[in-house]
Amino acid sequence: MSTLHILTHSPFADSRLASCLRLLSADDGLLLCGDAVYALQNGTRTCEALELMPSSIGLYALQEDVQARALQVPERVQCIDYPQFVALTLQHAKVNSWL
């Protein structure tokens, strides 16, 4: 059963992203929102790691959080709005928010 993981903490201040990446299964999804979108900052190790993830893992970022922070998102990552966020939770069997 695939899981949509949701992260909201900056990877530069917190271990959640690192732990989450180790627990991702092949068909899981990862949604970055809030300060977690800083993981997409160009030229960083976290961004490189995300870009190298297997293509079977869906990578998403909440558009408003990306735009508000003036980030440029790599092609590998799909920016989504709230209706797409709702749809994404239904495309996976369950949602794991890393509170």
By the rule CB under 8 A, 82 interacts with other proteins: yes
By the rule CB under 8 A, 54 interacts with other proteins: no
The rounded distance, in Å, linking the Cα atoms of 68 and 25 is 30
Applying CB under 8 A, the span of 5-13, 42-50, 51-59, 69-77 interacting with other proteins comes to 5-13
Measured CA angle at 40 (ends 1, 3), to 5 deg: 5
The rounded distance, in Å, linking the Cα atoms of 20 and 24 is 6
What is the contact surface with other proteins in residues (CB under 8 A)? 1, 3, 6-10, 15-16, 19, 22-25, 33-36, 62, 82-83, 85-87, 89-90, 93-99
